[in-house]
């Protein structure tokens, strides 16, 4: 495990929580407690940032370097996810129960070539913003109704 | 006159999907004349590229999308070839990909499969809005030059055939990277294919070349319906298929025998009312011929990991910026601009055209997670641009210099922000893309300081 840390060691300065077990993502709308499940859907390491007022952020680095962040409310619910790096995360894992809604929404949009570079869906209970070029993807998704008080969309990065 | 749809980047509620601006009354017509902008140059490394509505199969004409005609041949053959028009030129991706239904069966059946340890390879190519699934082959590539009888040619180029017949079973973890089946036909892809000519060679890079690999990228296929990206293990210990960078789907320019270290996109300017079509050129090579020297071009070194440069706009330094022919507008965050609704959602709809100015600079590293930029210049360039109301642009045109859309105003860590200079940036100036080409890239005469972008006046 420690060798793997060095291989991914570009991101420094963040505390590594635990190397003993690699948790799965809770996914958007999911409960943080489910992250501790043994089932490891995503091959990742957990890195936790210090708790910020109003929410905390769990970060994972995927093989290849993509960083996925889960924004967690005080009651342990994931209200937002974000990602950046050379690959896209498994969106079924990242969006959790909201993945099908995202897929359905995407299927109803009239296509244009520009969407390969920027794509958003904005629905009352789900916002997904996915952007990027090959080797350089970034995006975020959140459930507006789940944002804790005093947390703004701008905090989701 | 074709009906306009400024094809939306985003959608609102399900009910808001509309097929276009109404052709009745005052909708869609901005007045003024349509125009065709053209520029030409003649030399062996110069090929024609055009902004137009794209293939006839599209139900809505493409907007701000650059196309080129390529010829694909069986390796070593000069007769078993097929000319393919309407292939999108994309500086934000890497590699040649053709929609399976476009390829003649007589050609497709003769292309050798690209293999790993004797097993055929396939790929789940990633896009912001989904994926394109299909097998990998090798082919010879030709692009006809504007110089009569001459062409740019490359041998044994990796080619992905998207939506190839026989490969209809899409692996689950490929489908988990986005919505299903929406980037694998001409109508949904918006082109007959795509030629990715960005500032790198391999489409995935070191992450896919070194164990444990990257999930949902490269797959081995013992049969067309049993493709897998797993080599061994499961869960946290999964080892995924790896492909050396020299064998990944790659920027075809690197495979040219010469003039293979980059490309210059030269498109004429577009008036504020737009152009019906735009005809310009791609000039291959940087500093290898008399027609591709940098001259007094302003050079912007790009970050060696993400190929980004810096833009200063509205007082913010945005060091995750880039130039991108694959973006159909200028994309940036500005809360003063009214977002469009309905079929233009995703673009900006100010009530009157707004004028802006930004400063473009070479890459900068904002924190230790970014690879260091190699700055060889401290140049800056002022770029003035306009943003028109996307809902009132002339539906007869396909090229617009003042079409812009929204990016979320987040810092997009590790970057401090993003300004995406899409195709409108390319109108009226020459934009160079120098490929990062150390080591096994196959490029001769790697441009000093690559990867970099450069801009020169016409």
**B427 domain residue, yes or no:** yes
- Chain A environment of B213 (Cβ under 8 Å): 63-64
Q: Per-residue pLDDT averaged across B98-121, rounded?
A: 96
Kind of pairing between the strands at B452-457 and B277-284? unpaired
Number of compact structural domains in chain B: 1
Contact (CB<8Å) B11/A109: yes
Kind and range of the H or E run holding B262: strand B262-266
B361-384 pLDDT, tens digit per residue, is: 998 876 555 566 766 567 899 999
Model confidence at B411, in pLDDT bands (50, 70, 90)? low
| Per-residue pLDDT at B398 exceeds 90 | yes
Sign of CA dihedral B79, B142, B82, B166: positive
Q: What pLDDT is attached to residue B32? A: 39
State the average pLDDT for chain B.
88
B120-144 pLDDT, tens digit per residue, is: 999 999 999 999 999 999 999 999 9
Chain A interface, best mutation among B14, B17, B94, B179, by max A CB count within 10 A: B179
Q: Per-residue pLDDT averaged across B350-356, rounded?
A: 97
Question: CA A42, CA B235: separation in Å to the nearest integer?
Answer: 7
Q: Which residue's entry shows tokens 């673009």?
A: B347
φ, ψ dihedrals at B173, nearest 5°: -75, -15
CB B103 within 8 A of CB B167: no
A93-148 pLDDT, tens digit per residue, is: 999 999 999 999 888 887 788 889 999 899 999 999 999 999 999 999 999 999 99
Q: What pLDDT is attached to residue B377? A: 62
Among B212, B410, B422, beta carbon nearest to A157: B410
What domain range includes position B129?
Answer: 37-457
CB B258 within 8 A of CB B154: no
- Chain A environment of B93 (Cβ under 8 Å): 116, 133-134
**B22 domain residue, yes or no:** no
Q: Per-residue pLDDT averaged across A57-86, rounded?
A: 90
- CATH number for B400: 2.40.70.10
CB B250 within 8 A of CB A134: no
DSSP state of A54: T
**B13 domain residue, yes or no:** no
Among B59, B126, B217, beta carbon nearest to A137: B126
B307-347 pLDDT, tens digit per residue, is: 999 999 999 999 999 999 999 999 999 999 999 987 888 89
Neighbours of B416 (CB within 10 A): 17
pLDDT cut 70: percent of chain B above it = 87
The full set of domain ranges for chain A reads 2-155
Tally C-beta pairs within 8 A across A and B.
234
Sign of CA dihedral B332, B334, B337, B339: positive
B45-100 pLDDT, tens digit per residue, is: 999 999 999 999 888 899 999 999 999 999 999 999 999 999 999 999 999 999 99
Reported pTM = 0.88
| Per-residue pLDDT at B409 exceeds 80 | no
Task: Record the tokens describing residue A47, joined without a space.
Answer: 């890195």
Q: What pLDDT is attached to residue B234? A: 87
- Chain A environment of B366 (Cβ under 8 Å): none
Question: CA A77, CA A31: separation in Å to the nearest integer?
Answer: 5
**B43 domain residue, yes or no:** yes
| Per-residue pLDDT at B8 exceeds 60 | no
| Residue B188, helix vs strand vs coil | helix
- Chain B environment of A121 (Cβ under 8 Å): 10-11
Nearest residue in B to A43, CA atom: B236
Contact (CB<8Å) B213/A63: yes
Q: How many residues are there in chain A?
A: 157
Model confidence at B438, in pLDDT bands (50, 70, 90)? confident
Q: Which of B58-62, B260-264, B356-360, B407-411 has the lowest mean pLDDT?
A: B407-411
Q: Which of A52-66, B71-85, B347-361 has the lowest mean pLDDT?
A: A52-66
Q: What pLDDT is attached to residue B179? A: 78
Contact (CB<8Å) A40/B235: yes
Question: Measured between alpha carbons, how far apart are the two ends of chain A, in Å?
Answer: 28
- ipTM of model: 0.88
Question: CA A78, CA A76: separation in Å to the nearest integer?
Answer: 7
User: Which residue in A18, A86, A16 sits closest to B248, CA to CA?
Assistant: A86
| Per-residue pLDDT at B261 exceeds 90 | yes
Q: Return the ∠ at Cα B35 (arms to B32 and B36), rounded to 5°.
A: 170
């Amino acid at each position: 495990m420690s060798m793997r840390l060095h291989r991914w060691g570009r991101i420094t300065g963040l505390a590594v929580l635990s190397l003993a077990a690699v948790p799965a993502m809770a996914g958007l709308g999911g409960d943080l407690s489910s992250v501790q499940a043994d089932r490891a859907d995503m091959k990742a390491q957990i890195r936790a940032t210090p708790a910020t007022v109003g929410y905390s952020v769990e970060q994972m680095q995927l093989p290849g370097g993509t960083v996925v962040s889960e924004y967690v409310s005080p009651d342990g619910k994931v209200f937002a996810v974000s990602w950046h790096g050379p690959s896209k995360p498994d969106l079924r894992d990242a969006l959790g129960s909201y993945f099908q809604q995202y897929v359905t929404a995407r299927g109803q949009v009239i296509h244009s070539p520009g969407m390969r570079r920027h794509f958003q869906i904005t629905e009352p209970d789900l916002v997904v913003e996915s952007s990027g070029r090959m080797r350089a993807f970034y995006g975020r998704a959140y459930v507006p109704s789940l944002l804790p008080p005093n947390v703004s969309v701008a905090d989701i990065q | 006159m074709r009906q306009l749809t400024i094809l939306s980047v985003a959608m609102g509620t399900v009910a808001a999907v509309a097929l276009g601006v109404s052709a009745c009354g005052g909708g869609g017509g901005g007045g003024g004349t349509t125009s065709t902008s053209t520029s030409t140059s003649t030399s062996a490394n110069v090929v024609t590229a055009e902004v137009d509505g794209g293939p006839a199969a599209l139900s809505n004409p493409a907007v701000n999308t650059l196309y080129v005609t390529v010829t694909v041949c069986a390796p070593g053959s000069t007769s078993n070839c097929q000319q393919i028009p309407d292939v999108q030129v994309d500086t934000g991706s890497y590699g040649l990909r053709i929609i399976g239904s476009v390829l003649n069966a007589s050609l497709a059946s003769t292309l050798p499969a690209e293999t790993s340890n004797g097993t055929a390879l396939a790929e789940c190519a990633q896009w912001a809005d989904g994926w394109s699934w299909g097998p990998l082959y090798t082919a010879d590539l030709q692009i006809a030059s504007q110089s009569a009888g001459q062409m740019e040619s490359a041998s044994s180029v990796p080619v992905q055939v998207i939506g190839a017949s026989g490969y209809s079973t899409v692996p689950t973890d490929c489908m988990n990277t986005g919505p299903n089946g929406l980037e694998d036909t001409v109508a949904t892809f918006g082109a007959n294919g795509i030629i990715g000519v960005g500032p790198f060679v391999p489409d995935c890079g070191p992450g896919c070349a070194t164990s444990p690999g990257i999930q949902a990228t490269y797959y081995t296929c013992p049969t067309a319906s049993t493709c897998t990206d797993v080599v061994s293990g499961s869960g946290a210990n999964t080892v995924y298929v790896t492909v050396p960078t020299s064998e990944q789907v790659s920027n075809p320019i690197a495979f040219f025998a010469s003039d293979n270290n980059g490309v210059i996109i030269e498109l004429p300017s577009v008036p504020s009312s737009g152009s019906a079509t735009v005809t310009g050129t791609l000039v291959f090579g940087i500093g290898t011929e008399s027609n591709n020297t940098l001259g007094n071009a302003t050079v912007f070194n790009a970050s060696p990991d993400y190929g980004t440069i810096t833009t200063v706009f509205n007082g913010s330094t945005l060091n995750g910026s880039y130039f991108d022919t694959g973006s159909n507008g200028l994309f940036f965050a500005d809360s003063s601009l009214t977002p469009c609704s309905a079929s233009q959602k995703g673009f900006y709809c100010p009530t009157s055209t707004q004028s802006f100015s930004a400063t473009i600079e070479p890459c900068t590293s904002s924190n230790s997670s970014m690879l260091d930029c190699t700055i060889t210049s401290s140049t800056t360039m002022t770029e003035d641009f306009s943003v028109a109301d996307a809902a009132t642009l002339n539906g007869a045109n396909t090229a617009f210099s003042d079409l812009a859309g929204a990016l979320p105003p987040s810092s997009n860590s590790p970057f401090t922000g993003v300004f995406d200079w899409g195709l409108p940036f390319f109108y009226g100036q020459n934009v160079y893309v120098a490929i990062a080409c150390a080591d096994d890239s196959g490029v001769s005469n790697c441009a000093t300081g690559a990867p970099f972008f450069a801009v020169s006046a016409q």
